[in-house]
Amino acid sequence: MLFPVSAGSYPSPNMSARPAPLPAYSGRPWVRDADLLARLDLLSEQIDFALAEIALRRAAYQRACEEEAAWPWAPVGVEVLSRPSVAQALAGELAAVERLRLWAQEMYWLQEQARLRGLLR
């Protein structure tokens, strides 16, 4: 299979406009089946921990919001994020959600690879 490589797509002046051959896929997996399944098990544990961390971070965020609400002129809505403790708690929760998203994305990709190899249904 050949894909065209044009000179305008890269800043290098030495690029050719003719098609460039890509190496053929040999069909051999680079990762052993046992390693793939072990990584899937590890990711399922990581996702469980991430879900627990999100629950704890959400509780910390809610607690920080409640503590800040005890002030006489407590900010409401988005203004509550001007308080450092609330902003840090929310940042921690969002970081945990991002880790969960990355691990879930990797797990989805690995599950697809395992299905293609016939390891999963």
The structural domains of the chain, with segments of one domain joined by +, span 31-117
pLDDT at 14 over 60: no
Which pLDDT score is estimated for 23? 60
- Rounded-to-integer distance, Cα 48 and Cα 40, Å: 12
- Kindly report, residue by residue over 92-109, the tens digit of the pLDDT: 999 999 999 999 999 999
pLDDT band of residue 3 (cuts 50, 70, 90) is very low
Q: Are 60 and 89 in contact (CB under 8 A)?
A: yes
- More confidently predicted of 102 and 10: 102
Q: Are 68 and 90 in contact (CB under 8 A)?
A: no
Which pLDDT score is estimated for 68? 75
Residue 90's nearest CA partner among 64, 69, 68, 71 is 64
Mean pLDDT of the chain: 80
Task: For the chain, count helices (H), then strands (E).
Answer: 2, 2
